[in-house]
Amino acid sequence: MGEGEGEGDKLPPKKDEVITQESMKSARQLDFTHVVHPLHSNQAPVTSAASASSSIPSPAVTATPPITTSQARPVSTTTVATPIPPPPQPQGLLHVPIRHPERKPESPKSKPRAVGVGETRDGTPQKKKQCNCKHSRCLKLYCECFASGTYCDGCNCVNCFNNVEFDTARREAVQSVLDRNPNAFKPKIASSPHGGRDSREEVGEPVMLGKHYKGCHCKKSGCLKKYCECFQANILCSENCKCLDCKNFEGSEDRQSLFHGEHSHNVAYLQHVNAAITGAIGSYGFASAPGPKRKKGQEFFLNQGTKDSPTHRLGQANTGRTPSSKTDSRAGGPSKVVYRSLLADIIQPKNVKALCSVLVAVAGEAAKALTEKRLADQKETSVSSSVQDQGQGNNKGDEVEKAASGNQAEKSGPEDSSSDGSKGRSLSPDTLALMCDERDTMLMVATSPNGSVEPTSQLPNGGQDQFYAEQEKVVLTKFRDCLNQIISCGELKESNFSSSRMDLDTPAHTAVKIQPVVQQRPVANGVSQTIKQPSQRTTTTTPTPTTRLTTTTTTTTTPTPTPIPTTTSAQTQLHKTPALSEKKDL
DNA sequence: GAGTTTGAAACT
DNA sequence: CAGTTTCAAACTC
């Protein structure tokens, strides 16, 4: 192969790519009118208009995360600004997973590809894969960008037609593809036929996603490599698949060893764990969303990367895996492992944000209080020193303080300190860690007129570390309290879940019953507690806690319970915690 | 980074 | 619809 690539004129337009201006309809027209979406029922519940547009391969209307959300970013390529005026579309369309999500999770072992940054539905930055097409002009489904309905953006492709300049050709290609397969631009991974995952998740029901509507046809990969679309999408092979020697089924030892065995420390696994935890704070971790792209994510996952969507991967527990021959032959192993925290429906991103705000506010308060205290101490010190020893250096008070601090030896001077602080320690580490969106707020607090809260400018160097230490202590204490509240929340939910399971322990709820548990070990800081497993019928898969998880492992990853505490009530519960309610006071 | 393998997409 | 070819990603070395 390889012949004929190069300049576009060398590529004779194939019969399905000949551009006929007269007959050509706009991409939107094409996509909105004649495409039938039998799979729509498997997608997230959106309006009919949204469903129609969800298949539109034009970036202007696909509303895939990378396109729709990246406009705030300084992306300079032409693909971001779409010349096509986007048709009116429901907001819900923005949440339609990107097409071909199974392609998106970045393999930890794959080559480092040039990537752009997209965002998942919740705004989490996520890598957008970029194609390397050479012969398809990015106008065939071979091209991931084209297949996902997006323009190529910063890709490494050659002779790319998948951009604004060649929009006409692109539209024609779209039409051609749609003629062949009206579902070509639909997500190939169907969620539960019973409804969208969103609605299910809102009621706390386990999100069962993932069924390749065409199925894979793998022969040699055992469906345990990313060649397999199912595997890549973190889903199990289904009865739709026509694969040979499939190992991507529940209970597969190969598959389990891949995820939980000797590879338990690899990046993919960590992505799984992280995705699970991400889910605990409200992210869907939909791998696909290139997402999930936790996507993907991550990349589920895992992302993604991202095999970053455990829930996604395990999504077939009660969906579509109808008792087909394939299912029957494979089932029998342990039930599916759903990495989903009890807190998944409790902790929402806004809660995290609120927590950050609270902590930042606490930091500010602490800084203020400490500053006042310090100034008072300094007054006393200076007075006493002047009385007792006027002949000695006028820095003695500072020296004493330095000695008390015990860690200021290498301070070179106020300027250095200030500059150092601006680079590294102008804010305490915990504050920095919390400052994601609160940076402005924090700066405002720090520089408030009466506030004397700005330690860098108002405190002598000698006490800075101690100052920060004290501030840190206050903040971390508050953070610990908040985490304890969250843990209590989860325990409450868990206990409700456990009790309710007894009620639900009927054959009709078998799928729920068999969900196993992932139990997080308590973390070293002693804050978290060992969470009892609600079910003993489950296989315990204990992800190895990593340093990356140090903070978040204070929450427990447990199976998704039945919807006992609804999201609303759970959130209310969370908001009742002193820590979060304190924000109002502040 | 180059070459190979793989399976989906495209084609016949 | 089945078989073959093309293609690009995944993977290996």
Phi, psi at residue A155, to the nearest 5°?
Answer: -75, 175
Straight-line distance from CA A554 to C1' C11, in Å? Answer: 37
> Which residues are CB-neighbours of A216 under 8 A, at least 6 positions away?
A223, A228, A229, A230, A231, A237, A241, A242, A243
pLDDT at position A362 over 50: yes
Nucleotides of C under 7 A from a protein CB: 6-12
Candidate from A249-258, A352-361, A422-431, A527-536 with smallest mean pLDDT:
A527-536
Beta carbons of A237 and A316 less than 8 angstroms apart: no
Protein-nucleic contacts, chain A 124-163 to strand B, CB < 7 Å: 140-142, 147
- Of the spans A9-13, A238-242, A313-317, A561-565, which averages the highest pLDDT? A238-242
For residue A274, which amino acid is it? Answer: N
pLDDT at position A352 over 60: yes
CA distances from residue A289 to A45, A66, A128, A138, A147 in whole angstroms, order as listed: 16, 10, 10, 21, 14
Pick from A279, A286, A283, A282: nearest CA to A300: A286
Which band of pLDDT confidence, cut at 50, 70 and 90, is reported for residue A500?
A: low
Mean of pLDDT over chain A: 52
Beta carbons of A44 and A95 less than 8 angstroms apart: yes
Average pLDDT over residues A398-406: 40
pLDDT at position A328 over 70: no
- Alpha-carbon radius of gyration of chain A: 28
Q: Which residue is nearest to nucleotide B8 (CA to C1')?
A: A142
Q: Which residue is nearest to nucleotide B6 (CA to C1')?
A: A227
Predicted model pTM: 0.40
Q: Render the burial of A58-86: b for 16+ CB within 10 Å, e for the rest.
A: bbbbbbbbbbbbbeeeebeeebbebeeeb
Instruction: Tell me, rounded to whole angstroms, the distance of Cα A232 from its chain centroid.
Output: 17
Asked whether residue A16's C-beta has any atom of DNA/RNA strand B within 7 A, the reply is yes
**E strands, A196-330, in order:** 299-300, 302-304
CA angle A578, A584, A586 (to 5 degrees): 95
Protein-nucleic contacts, chain A 160-179 to strand B, CB < 7 Å: 177
Provide the β-strand partners of residue A125: A119
A73-129 confidence digits (pLDDT tens): 333 333 333 333 333 333 333 333 333 333 333 333 333 333 333 333 333 444 567
Pick from A166, A158, A162: nearest CA to A147: A162
pLDDT at position A51 over 70: no
Which band of pLDDT confidence, cut at 50, 70 and 90, is reported for residue A344?
A: low
Tokens of A487: 């843990």
> For residue A492, what pLDDT is reported?
73
Straight-line distance from CA A548 to C1' B9, in Å? Answer: 40
Which band of pLDDT confidence, cut at 50, 70 and 90, is reported for residue A299?
A: very low
Asked whether residue A109's C-beta has any atom of DNA/RNA strand B within 7 A, the reply is no
Nearest-nucleotide field for A222 (CA, C1'): B6
